[in-house]
């Protein structure tokens, strides 16, 4: 599978973005880990590319202002998968195909199972409690 993160430059397209000099413990969509104290971050509105038309959603995400890391994009980021998550699959037209709640330890198996369906083009991983977009997944 291929992981799709969000680069900090995406924040620049949201004029309402907020700068936080230190916001420890928030999930960073750039390097796919939790933030540390004194790491400057952006909080901004973001629309994942999976959903199109009426399925295009906008929600709040965090990235670093200057990301110091290059995450591995060929495997799931374990630091953001220590809680149950929503997996939402999309078809090629950008419509929601299916959705389910997945527990830690099952993500690889469930995502690979979703991609067994040829109608599924991509998957979004989201927070269960807040619904926020974490990252996207496609076939490798
Ligand atoms: Zn980062």
Integer Cα distance of 110 and 116 in angstroms: 10
Rounded to 5°, the CA angle 32-47-60 comes to 65
**What is the mean pLDDT of the segment spanning 28-51?**
97
Of the residues 40, 64, 88, which one is the last residue of a structural domain? 64
Taking CB atoms within 8 Å and a gap of at least 24, the contacts of 34-41 are 34/79, 34/80, 35/62, 35/64, 39/64, 40/64, 40/65, 40/66, 41/65
CB 5 within 8 A of CB 11: no
> Given pLDDT bands bounded at 50, 70 and 90, which one contains residue 25?
very high
> Given pLDDT bands bounded at 50, 70 and 90, which one contains residue 119?
very high
CA of 44 to the centre of ligand 1 (A): 14
> Given pLDDT bands bounded at 50, 70 and 90, which one contains residue 18?
very high
Whole-number pLDDT of residue 86: 97
In a domain, 70, yes or no: no
Residues 49 and 93 in one domain: no
CA of 65 to the centre of ligand 1 (A): 8
Residue ranges with CB less than 5 Å from ion ligand 1: 28, 30-31, 64, 67
> Given pLDDT bands bounded at 50, 70 and 90, which one contains residue 88?
very high
Rounded to 5°, the CA angle 27-32-35 comes to 45
Number of domains in the chain: 2
In a domain, 71, yes or no: no
Whole-number pLDDT of residue 77: 96
> Given pLDDT bands bounded at 50, 70 and 90, which one contains residue 109?
very high
In a domain, 38, yes or no: yes
Residue with tokens 């999309």: 90
CA of 72 to the centre of ligand 1 (A): 12
Structural domain boundaries enclosing 35: 2-64
CA of 66 to the centre of ligand 1 (A): 7
Question: What is the value of pTM for the model shown?
Answer: 0.95
Integer Cα distance of 33 and 100 in angstroms: 23
Residues 94 and 125 in one domain: yes
Residues 60 and 111 in one domain: no
CA of 114 to the centre of ligand 1 (A): 28
Residues 50 and 103 in one domain: no
In a domain, 51, yes or no: yes
For the beta sheet containing 59-64, the strands, ordered from the edge strand earlier in sequence to the opposite edge, are 18-20, 41-46, 59-64, 27-28, 33-34
**What is the mean pLDDT of the segment spanning 48-70?**
95
CA of 115 to the centre of ligand 1 (A): 27
Whole-number pLDDT of residue 34: 97
Residues 47 and 89 in one domain: no
Integer Cα distance of 26 and 44 in angstroms: 13
Element (H, E) at 108: helix 107-115
In a domain, 109, yes or no: yes
CA distances from 129 to 84, 85, 133, 135 (A): 9, 8, 11, 16
CA of 22 to the centre of ligand 1 (A): 13
């Amino acid at each position: 599978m291929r992981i799709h993160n969000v680069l900090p430059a995406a924040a620049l397209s949201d004029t309402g973005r907020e700068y936080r000099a230190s916001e420890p413990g928030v999930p960073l969509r750039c390097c796919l880990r939790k933030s540390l104290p004194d790491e400057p971050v952006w909080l901004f509105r973001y629309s994942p590319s999976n959903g199109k038309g009426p399925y295009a959603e906008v929600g709040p995400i965090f990235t670093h202002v200057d990301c110091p890391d290059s995450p591995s994009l060929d495997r799931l980021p374990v630091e953001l998968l220590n809680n149950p998550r929503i997996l939402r699959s999309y078809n090629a037209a950008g419509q929601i195909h299916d959705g389910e709640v997945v527990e830690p330890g099952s993500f690889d198996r469930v995502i690979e199972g979703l991609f067994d369906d040829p109608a599924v083009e991509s998957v979004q991983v989201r927070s269960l409690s807040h619904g926020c977009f974490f990252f996207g997944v496609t076939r490798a």
